[in-house]
Amino acid sequence: MSVLIFVELDNGTIKKTSQEAIFYGAKVADMLQTSATVLAIGQASEEALSSAGKFGAAKVLHAADDKLNHENSLAYADVLTQAVQQEGSKVVVMAKSGLGDAVAARSAAKLKASVVSGVTDLPEVTGGFKVKRGIYTGKAFATVEVKSDIKVLVVKKNAVEVAENDGNAQVESFSPTLRDSDFAATVKEVQKASSELSLTEADIIVSGGRGMKGPENWDPLVDLANALGAATGCSKPVSDLDWRPHHEHIGQTGIKVAPNLYIACGISGAIQHLAGVNGSKCIVVINKDPEAPFFKAADYGIVGDVFDVLPRLTKAVEATK
Amino acid sequence: MKILVCITNVPDTTAKISFTDNNTKFNKAGVQYIIGPYDDYALARAVELKEAQGGTITVLHVGEADSDPQIRKALAIGADDAIRVNTEPADSYYVATQIAHIAQQNSYDLILMGRESIDFNSGVVHGLVGEMLGIPSFSPVMKLDIKDGKAEFAREIDGGKEYLEATLPLVLGCQEPIAEWKIPNMRGIMTARTKPLQVVEPVSVDDMTSLESYSLPAPKGECKMIPVEEAEKLITLLRTEAKVL
Ligand SMILES: Cc1cc2nc3c(=O)[nH]c(=O)nc-3n(C[C@H](O)[C@H](O)[C@H](O)COP(=O)(O)OP(=O)(O)OC[C@H]3O[C@@H](n4cnc5c(N)ncnc54)[C@H](O)[C@@H]3O)c2cc1C
Ligand SMILES: Nc1ncnc2c1ncn2[C@@H]1O[C@H](COP(=O)(O)O)[C@@H](O)[C@H]1O
């Protein structure tokens, strides 16, 4: 029966959010008294893949056809569906992301399975299969009973606290049938800031708003981010004004993030911005206006000028490294 | 070109969320509804494409009669006609089945949706509909042009963008900056009143999920204020107290 976990790779290693998904899937497998199998699509070494065992997987199916090197939700959904059929899996798990949602949706339709996206907790499996998911952009939760035979769960970051063990998963190659329709789109160009830490994966994010006053003032924010090993984000007006690239825009209409630490610099804390950060474990707000609404959603606050505070924080981090 | 735009009717982004009936019903009292912000981007791009290249825009909503004001607004913004599937949406699979059913009867060239609804936040209806129709689906799309039956579009990926080309028909989940939100003008509002809004009954779908209950997040604790002259203390607190560094 097994629980099947679809993982995303980044330069041949399993992404952190996908490691969490494996851990989640392995927990569900324990509850259902079955084992956890991982599906990895794309190039990766056997060693990198067998590390899935550290998060509780027993086996990894590896689809390494060169045609699958480029991230392609149509083909990946086809591959996943065939893996589910081969393994007879009843629960399919993946991490929430643009790719995760697309692969989940298309494979759910192929498998006539229900798909629950935005799962925030482990399921309850006694007396029906019940999962909790985020709704209203983090402002509430819904607990739903999933009744279909096959269940596809798309799991949010921090749904489980990951603990590693010293297991190794057995890696098997998997050769699905690929169809022309899986390659219906031609990729013209990919623009990717390769060295950048991705916002959805980052443990720490330092984010700037209109209070930063202009793109030329971002250095102190980037310095703090570098000192902390953090990714950088911004509010919507900042990306609208082209002060920062669009993919850094966080909030209701941007990316939703769930880091351990979110440091907001010169961001007022409009509800649409909060909607993108309310999954964060700890929020720090630096704003010169003591009435800024963001303080109500924060764990730590400093009322002050970002241009005074940021360099001092950077120094403090570097001094105690 | 025939474009279908699927819209949601959702609480305004600033709405306070609460529940009634023992946490099994959303409390609509005092809540203002809007067209889903991402759906609004999809609609805006559809209107631009129609203005540039001709064609028709149909708006589709799966929901009950209290959504009609938002459907009329979409007509005022520039859609030609509307279809409402008269039912309370049960889950993504249910909604997608209704949309796919309407699409099968009408052969649209382009089906535009939002990247996600802001009530259910699933981001899956476009993928489900695409697969149900056997056509490609992509999301989130931030740029879209149509040339000679082909779509040229950009999709947001982790830390960047990818530029793709595919033959119509397609299902796309849209987000900014694909277009600027449009505000209806007086003429639009007047003509919207007489544009056709067809109400159809749903097709039956297997029961996939059922709601147990809703809940709200635990209230946030006090924010600890650090005097600005001692700002450096923050780093110590993050290490020793919050344990996030
Ligand atoms: C449908 C809809 C969707 C939206 N989606 C999003 C979204 O996804 N993400 C998003 O961010 N916004 C979104 N918005 C916009 C949102 O409502 C706010 O307008 C926006 O978040 C404000 O950005 P800001 O905090 O950077 O700017 P402002 O509101 O202008 O705030 C700037 C802050 O900086 C402070 N400040 C100024 N100078 C300094 C200084 N020297 N030192 C310290 N502090 C200083 C000020 O006190 C102020 O609090 C959306 C709006 C709508 C209507
Ligand atoms: N009830 C509905 N009626 C019409 N379109 C919908 C409905 N629900 C979702 N959609 C469309 O599907 C997109 C993605 O929704 P979701 O998968 O719920 O996040 C939305 O932005 C809409 O375009």
- pLDDT score for B159: 76
State which residue of chain B sits closest to A261, comparing Cα positions. Answer: B244
pLDDT in tens, A52-104: 999 999 999 999 999 999 999 999 999 999 999 999 999 999 999 999 999 99
Average pLDDT, chain A: 95
Query: Would the pLDDT of B227 be above 80?
Result: yes
pLDDT value, residue A253 = 87
Mean pLDDT to the nearest integer, B1-12: 97
Give the count of domains, chain B. 1
Ligand 2 in reach of B114 Cβ (< 6 A): yes
Residue B226 lies in a domain: no
Q: Which ligand gives the minimal distance to the CA of B38?
A: 2
* Ligand 1 neighbour A235 (Cβ under 6 A): yes
pLDDT for the residue B36: 96
Q: So what's the pLDDT on residue A214?
A: 97
How much is the CA Rg of chain B, to the nearest whole Å? 21
Instruction: Tell me what ipTM this predicted complex has.
Output: 0.93
B19-31 pLDDT tens trace: 999 999 999 999 9
Domain residues for the domain of B140 are: 2-212
How much of chain A exceeds pLDDT 70, in percent? Answer: 99
Where on the phi/psi map is residue B137: left (φ > 0), alpha (ψ -120 to 50), or beta?
beta
Cis bond upstream, residue B37 (ω within 30): no
Tell me, yes or no, if the two domains A3-183 and A204-319 fold the same way.
Answer: yes
Question: Does residue A242 have a pLDDT over 70?
Answer: yes
Instruction: Considering the domain delimited by A3-183, tell me its CATH architecture.
Output: 3-Layer(aba) Sandwich (3.40)
B159 touches chain A (CB under 8 A): yes
B150, part of any domain? yes
Q: Which of A186, A275, A320 sits opposite B165 (nearest CB)?
A: A186
Which of A106-110, A160-164, B154-158, B166-170 bottoms out in mean pLDDT, i.e. has the lowest?
A: B154-158
User: B223 lies in a domain?
Assistant: no
Q: How confident is the model at residue B158 (pLDDT cuts 50, 70, 90)?
A: confident
The neighbour count for residue B24, using CB atoms within 10 Å, is: 12
Residue A1 has pLDDT above 90, yes or no: no
Percentage of residues of chain A with pLDDT beyond 90: 90
CB-based contact (8 Å) between A118 and chain B? yes
- Tens digits of residue pLDDT in B41-80: 999 999 999 999 999 999 999 999 999 999 999 999 999 9
Give the pLDDT of residue A194. 60
Smallest-distance ligand from the CA of A276: 1
CATH number of the structural domain A204-319: 3.40.50.1220
Q: Which two tokens stand for residue A110?
A: 């192929």
**Mean pLDDT, residues A253-265 taken together:** 94
CATH number of the domain within which B29 lies: 3.40.50.620
CA B36–ligand 2 middle distance (angstroms): 8
Q: Which three-class secondary structure string do you get for chain A?
A: CCEEEEECEECCEECHHHHHHHHHHHHHHHHCCCCEEEEEECCCCHHHHHHHHHHCCCEEEEECCHHHCCCCHHHHHHHHHHHHHHHCCCEEEEECCHHHHHHHHHHHHHHCCEEEEEECCCCECCCCEEEEEEECCCCEEEEEEECCCCEEEEECCCCCCCCCCCCCCEEEECCCCCCHHHHCEEEEEEEECCCCCCCCCCCEEEEECHHHCCHHHCHHHHHHHHHHCCEEEECHHHHHCCCCCHHHEECCCCECCCCCEEEEECCCCCHHHHCCCCCCCEEEEEECCCCCHHHHHCCEEEECCHHHHHHHHHHHHHHCC
Q: Which atom of ligand 2 is nearest to the CA of A105?
A: 17
Q: Which atom of ligand 1 is nearest to the CA of A252?
A: 8
The domain spans of chain A are 3-183, 204-319
- Identify whether B232 is part of a domain: no
User: Dihedrals φ, ψ of A263, to 5°?
Assistant: -110, 115
Q: Is residue B55 part of a domain?
A: yes
pLDDT tens across A170-220, in order? 999 999 999 999 999 999 999 887 656 788 889 999 999 999 999 999 999
Residue B81: inside a domain: yes
Lowest mean pLDDT among A92-106, A184-198, A224-238, B127-141: A184-198
> Is residue B74 assigned to a domain?
yes
Q: B10 with B118: CB under 8 angstroms?
A: yes
